Structure formats: structure tokens, C-alpha cells
Structure 1
Amino acid sequence: MSLTVELVQHLPDFEALQPDWNELVESMAFPEIFHFWEWNFCYFKHYRTADELFILVVRDQSKKVVSIAPLCIRSMRRLGVRIRVLETIVVNIGDYRNFLTRAGTHRGRVVEAVLDYLRDSAARWDVIDIAQFSSRDSTTAHLATLAQGYPGWNVRVRITTATAVRRLSSPTTAEDVEKVRRLRRKLKDLERRGLQVQIGSADFAKYWPTFCELHRKTWPLSPFHEAVGMAFYDDLKSRPGLKEKLEFSVAEFQGRPVAMHFGFVDRSKLYHYMTVMDREFRNERVGAVLLYVMIQHYQKTLQNFDFMRGMETYKLWFTDDLDISFRLVIHRNASGPAFLYNLGAVTRQYAIDLGFPRAALQLAKGGAAKVRDRLLGSR
């Protein structure tokens, strides 16, 4: 199969890709909501205003799009040196990323074509830093394996996060039976006292301001603290291509929203994306109760319930299935900018491997003990 790679650098060309882009995502073996054009375009528009598009579109001999690498170049400075970092367009608030590849297309061939293009355009970038590439899609394994075969490249691969996923269609899902039983009893108790739960509520606009306010109060790093975050989500949820994929559920106690979820439903999966809970009702476990009701509701129609990043204990009440995401950092061996970019992370990891943080803590404890003993002995 003959493949060609073309570079998309301008916003109008990015906009024109929408139909082909989304058709490609729908054809993937493991599509994710964050792969869709709307997520990438809105993210670039709001969060990447100073960055340069570097989207690679892979076509077969019939000119059909078989893969897209949604990349961009971010410039930064460290110790006064400019460093050009090639990244996926969506980072941080988007949980899954990858080179989007059509099912039935040989992923190894596609990855090789993309890496060849990146090798030939190496004068444009100093470091490739791509993260949250899921183990579910074998494109990740092809990328990690093939990149290490390029002469003069240094490739570092590490696990970034584990993600809990409940297989709703599995008849043998493992769960913490006692914890789930308690939630069931708690739900009945709260319902007797006036709790009402709406799953997949149509009143999204009604609850959105309250959701944002509670999210700001609950999470210091909430994207809703900043105007750019508010603008991004307002833009994203208004896009026609995503409107039917939004999921909003709410638990109200005596007419007051006490727990809410904002996420997505795509094809056969629920993305448990953003949650908030009124802290005054923390002891009532309203957040966990809402989650329990959501799982019971979507058990009937979906195949997977994705708890997203983070290994909070409550997620493992409902499943013991885990997926893994990886980060790949690639750079040329003799690169000053790459050295500066990696210096902090490598130094920290080296110190951890040597046990330095623990050793420093032990030394500090030992020193404090000696000072205490001297003070006590001088009395």
C-alpha cells in the first residue's frame, strides 16, 4: 500500500478537514470522544493561540484519508534557549490522544510514514512529546517500537496513567459488593428524604451555571476559573457535531442540585468526565450515589463506562479492569534544546530511582532527632 503524507498548517485547511476527520474517527477500531475534529479545533482555537499547526494527513493511493496525526508546535524557552516542542493539539483536559488510523489500515505502515515525515522535517522541531496514548489502540505500541529504530533518535517511553473501565456488557464484572450494597441502601434512604436523580437530563442549559460555580468552588485547578476555559467549553458544547454526544446528570435534594456530572456518550461508551458535589452534602455520599445510578442506567444500552484519568478509590468499587496510557518523548541525541527540555524530568526521575527523596527525608528526620536530643539533654 502506497501512502503519502501532507502537512496542514493553516486554520482554513484545518476547518476544511472536518468531514474527512470525523468520518475517519467513526471508522476507527477504538475511537474516543477527544479524537473528533470539534475537540481538536476548539482546543486549538482557544488554548493554542500562540502555537503552530502541524497536522499530518496520511492518504492511500486513492487519496482517501487513512490516518491523521493531530499535532502542533509549541515554542518555549528554558535558560534563554528556544525549544520547539511537537505535541498533540489536545493536552491536559483531553484524556485520550493518538494518531487516528482507519480500521483495516496497517497501523505499522501508517506510523512509519508519519515518523519518516517527522525525520525528514526534523529541522522544524527539537522535541516530540506526546502523552495519553492508550494501550487499547495498538497504534501506541507501533509508535513506541518503531520510533526506537530511527538512527540518532532518543526515545523515552513511560506509563502516565491507569484508567478504570467498567465493561457494562460483561456478565462477570468484578466489584466491591459490600460498597455497592451500601450505596444501594443509601440511595433508598435519600430517595425517601426527597432526593431526585435525572440521568441524561435535557435541562443542560438550566444547570450549567450552577455546575460551573460548584466546580470552581470544589477544584482549585478548575478550567472554569479562567475565561479561556469557560469560552472553550461554551464553544465545544455548542458544536452541532458534539451536541448529541453530551451527557449531563444531576442529583437534587429538595430541589437543590447537590451532585452533577458533565461528560460524553459516544457509540457504546460513557465518559465520566467532570463531576461536582456540594460539599455540604459530602457525608451523604451524593456523588457516589449519582455515579451508582448512572452505571445502572447505562448498563442497559452501553458497553463500557470509562472513569477517565485518576485512580480514586471509589472508582474501584465498581470495577477492577484497568487500561494504561503512555507518554513518548523523542529527540535527536545531540540536541542542546532537547537536553534542556528533558533535564528537569530526567534529574527528578534519577533522584527517585536512587532513593534520594526518601534518603533526604531520613536524613532530615535524623538531624531533627539529634537536635531534639541535644535540647533535651541540655535541660
Structure 2
Amino acid sequence: MQISLYNKLEDIPIDKEQWRKLLARNTTRSVFQSYAWTHNWWEQFGNNYTLFFLVAQNNDGQVSGLAPLMLDESRTLRFIADKNSDYLDFIIPDDRSEILSAFFKKIREQQHDWLMIELNNIRRCSDLLDHVKRICNSSNMYFWRNGTIDAPSLIIDGNEKHTERLLKKYSTRRAEKQFSRQGEISFTVFRSREQAAPYWKAFFTQHIDRCGSVNRGSSFIQPAFRRFARELFEQTLEEHTVHFSVLELNGKPIAFHYGFISENRLVWYKPCFDTKIKKGSPGLLLIKRLIEHCVDNKLQELDFTIGAEAFKDRFCSIRRRVDSARIYKSRTRYFTECILHMMWDAVKHTLRKLFPGTNQRKADSTRN
């Protein structure tokens, strides 16, 4: 087996179809691990990072594993696009223990390049962090599982009666009736560049306004992220990877959703609605339409992804767990950051007791 480190994405010895086949056999197979996502994101944002992409090849030269990593300006080694991705992992369908050990041997050989490794948003169905912890214990590195986030989801397949009850709830039906009295409601999933083209500006503006209304920054403030979202949609039309849809009232957009179709599920990513609407709940009606879309297209679930916002409680039927970990080569830094983290947790716990109103659930504001 050969492990190679690449600093240029175009030099990696795997094409789009080979990547797709390798990912299809992996334990985790999210859109955030795909060829299109990785290459499009790197094209827009790669100038701010140093590529640290590891490739495993067997004795026949075939690619058997991918570790899509990058170095940030603080010399932290992390997944490519981790600030914008909800589910991440290495792509190693077979011989995971052996290949992961070889990857981390290569990483240790390059330890002059990095100060810390940060692996974010690993689904519990992956065994990655268990392997990494074992490797750290035997190689003088220090492993810390430093965070866990809820990822709520509505399971539809096999849960049809529950889904039907959700759609018939009074609050859900009321949202539709309020807008029906005002005119014609339409819901459209865009299938072509031409169909979507007139709506991009309205979508970006609406998302920025919506995030601003709750004191969050929208990713779409960045021109590069606007280009990334649009090009990802246009380049994956044949695969139907991106789900870009609009909810309109009398021909005027009142809500949008930019998400993905991945693993036979609809993945929630960038929703928004018109904050100027004072009567009715366009966000609630948007979710109703998305659930109906899942039912009509026989999708297994509506995956609300990371962040346990209160509105998700109204619809989710399961909560998955998504973990993050840090790996240190310095014992001093490891213990220092662990102690500071525990102290901060204690402060937050005290504040929540003193000021119950601040006990808000963690939202996915890092990727708005």
C-alpha cells in the first residue's frame, strides 16, 4: 500500500466517477463528501488554505482511500470545507483500520506542518473516531472528543402514519389556510439553469435578511459562497444532487430551500423566508411542502441535519448524534485546552441556572 500527500487538487489520481464509486461503498456517503462538493468548494475558497490531501493506493495502483484534509492559517489540520459541511468522514470502504493507521503515520511524519488536528461533524454511524482514538493511544498523540451535536430527522419510510398526522396537524393546516386566503400558492423544485436563474438574487437576499433578523451572519454575504452554491447546483443537475425550491404566493417568493438529495433523503441546508410577511408562517408552510415532496418522491426521510432548533422538535422523529474531536501532539496544549473547556462549561452551566432565559439550544449558526 502506498500513501501519498497532495498539495494540489488537480494532481490527485482519481476522477469524478472513481470518486463516486469509492464513496458509494463507504459507511458514510453524504453530499459533503462528494467530488462535486469538494472540488467546487476548493475552487472558491482554497486560496485561504493549504491542501493536505492523503490518498491510499493498493499494490495495483487503485485508489482505496481518501483523507480530504487542509491546513488553515492557524496550522490546524481539518476536513476540507468543514465550516460549511454537516457530515464528514474519510472515504475508506475497506481495510479501514489498516488505511487509517497508514494515514496517521503519514500525518505524524508531517507534524512540522501542523499544530493540532480538528475533525468535525462525524456521524455516530462512522467508526472513524474510535479508530483515531486507538491510533493516538499508541502513537504519543492526545485525543479529545470535544463536542457532540444533535441532528434531528423525520423518518418517513415505515413511518407513514406519523408523517400523515404531522401534515394534518391544526398548526400545519392553518399555515396553509392563512396563505390560501391571500391568493395562489405554488411550490416549485428547480430542474434547470434557466428555471432557477431568475430566483438566485431573491434567494440570496432573503437568506441574508432572514439571518440578519435573528442576529446571525449569512454565508451568502460572501460573493464566493454565492458562486459556490450556484455552480454546485448547475454542475450537478444530471445527478439531481441539489434540491433548490421556492414557495410562492401570487407569483412572489415567500420562502426558499437550498438543500440536497443524498442517500435517498432530503437534506435540509439553507432555508429562508420573507421576514416582511407579518401574517402567516411561510417557514412552516415550506416545511410542509418539503415533507410532501419527500412522500411524493418516495424519499426515506427529511434530514434536518445539525442543530437542535426548537422548530425541528415539531417534526423530527429521531435524533442522531454528530461528534467532533481534536488531536494534539503537545501534552501541554492538550491539558490546557481541556481545562479551559471544562471551566467554560462550568461558567455556562452557572449562567443557565442564574438566567434561565439564556438556556437556548445550540443552533447551526456556524453554517448559516
The percent of aligned pairs where both chains have the same amino acid is 20
Q: 2:50 aligns with which of 35, 52, 59?
A: 52
Displacement of 1:269: 1.2
The farther-off stretch of 206-215 and 17-26 is: 17-26
| Residues 147 and 325 in structure 2, CA contact (< 8 A), matched pair in contact too | no
Residue 216 of structure 1 is matched in structure 2 by 208
Displacement of 1:64: 2.5
| Residues 112 and 146 in structure 1, CA contact (< 8 A), matched pair in contact too | no
SS of residue matched to 1:137:
coil
The answer on 1:112 being equivalent to 2:101 is yes
SS of residue matched to 1:299:
helix
Residue 323 of structure 1 is matched in structure 2 by 320
| Residues 67 and 90 in structure 2, CA contact (< 8 A), matched pair in contact too | yes
| Residues 156 and 328 in structure 1, CA contact (< 8 A), matched pair in contact too | yes
Q: 2:283 aligns with which of 287, 296, 307?
A: 287
Residues 205-231 of structure 1: CA distance to partner in whole angstroms, max 9, x if unpaired? 221110011111111411221222223
Query: Structure 2: 5+ residue runs without aligned partners?
Result: 355-368
| Residues 159 and 327 in structure 1, CA contact (< 8 A), matched pair in contact too | yes
Read off the aligned partner of 1:30 and give its amino acid letter. T
Residue 87 of structure 2 is matched in structure 1 by 96
SS of residue matched to 1:99:
coil
In structure 2, C-alpha distance between the alignment counterparts of 1:179 and 1:282, rounded to whole Å: 23
| Residues 174 and 318 in structure 1, CA contact (< 8 A), matched pair in contact too | no
The answer on 1:182 being equivalent to 2:171 is yes
Distance change (3 Å), C-alpha of 1:254 and 1:323: same
In structure 2, C-alpha distance between the alignment counterparts of 1:98 and 1:131, rounded to whole Å: 9
| Residues 129 and 325 in structure 2, CA contact (< 8 A), matched pair in contact too | no
SS of residue matched to 1:322:
strand
Residue 152 of structure 2 is matched in structure 1 by 164
In structure 2, C-alpha distance between the alignment counterparts of 1:86 and 1:152, rounded to whole Å: 17
TM-score, normalised via structure 2 length? 0.84
Displacement of 1:96: 1.2
Distance change (3 Å), C-alpha of 1:9 and 1:314: same
Displacement of 1:354: 4.1
Residues 243-274 of structure 1: CA distance to partner in whole angstroms, max 9, x if unpaired? 62121222211221111111111340111111
Read off the aligned partner of 1:163 and give its amino acid letter. A
When the two chains are superposed, the root-mean-square deviation of aligned CA atoms in Å is 2.9
Residue 377 of structure 1 is matched in structure 2 by none
SS of residue matched to 2:73:
strand
In structure 2, C-alpha distance between the alignment counterparts of 1:275 and 1:360, rounded to whole Å: 29
| Deviation >3 Å, runs of 4+ | 14-19, 172-181, 240-243, 345-348, 352-357, 359-362
The farther-off stretch of 316-325 and 192-201 is: 192-201
In structure 1, C-alpha distance between the alignment counterparts of 2:288 and 2:352, rounded to whole Å: 43
Displacement of 1:276: 1.0
Read off the aligned partner of 2:319 and give its amino acid letter. L
Residues 31-79 of structure 1: CA distance to partner in whole angstroms, max 9, x if unpaired? 1011111211222222231322111112233332222110011232xxx
Residue 298 of structure 1 is matched in structure 2 by 294
| Residues 166 and 305 in structure 1, CA contact (< 8 A), matched pair in contact too | yes
Residues 53-109 of structure 1: CA distance to partner in whole angstroms, max 9, x if unpaired? 111112233332222110011232xxxxxxx2111111211111110122xx13323
The farther-off stretch of 115-124 and 176-185 is: 176-185
What count of residue pairs does the alignment treat as equivalent? Answer: 346
Residue 8 of structure 1 is matched in structure 2 by 6
| Residues 204 and 220 in structure 2, CA contact (< 8 A), matched pair in contact too | yes
Residue 308 of structure 1 is matched in structure 2 by 305
Q: 2:344 aligns with which of 344, 352, 368?
A: 352
In structure 2, C-alpha distance between the alignment counterparts of 1:283 and 1:136, rounded to whole Å: 42
Q: 1:254 aligns with which of 250, 254, 264?
A: 250
Residue 130 of structure 2 is matched in structure 1 by 141
Residue 264 of structure 1 is matched in structure 2 by 260
| Residues 267 and 303 in structure 2, CA contact (< 8 A), matched pair in contact too | yes
Distance change (3 Å), C-alpha of 1:360 and 1:304: closer
Read off the aligned partner of 1:111 and give its amino acid letter. L
Query: Structure 1: 5+ residue runs without aligned partners?
Result: 77-83, 363-379
| Residues 53 and 70 in structure 2, CA contact (< 8 A), matched pair in contact too | yes
In structure 2, C-alpha distance between the alignment counterparts of 1:242 and 1:8, rounded to whole Å: 29
| Residues 38 and 242 in structure 1, CA contact (< 8 A), matched pair in contact too | no
Q: 1:19 aligns with which of 17, 33, 56?
A: 17
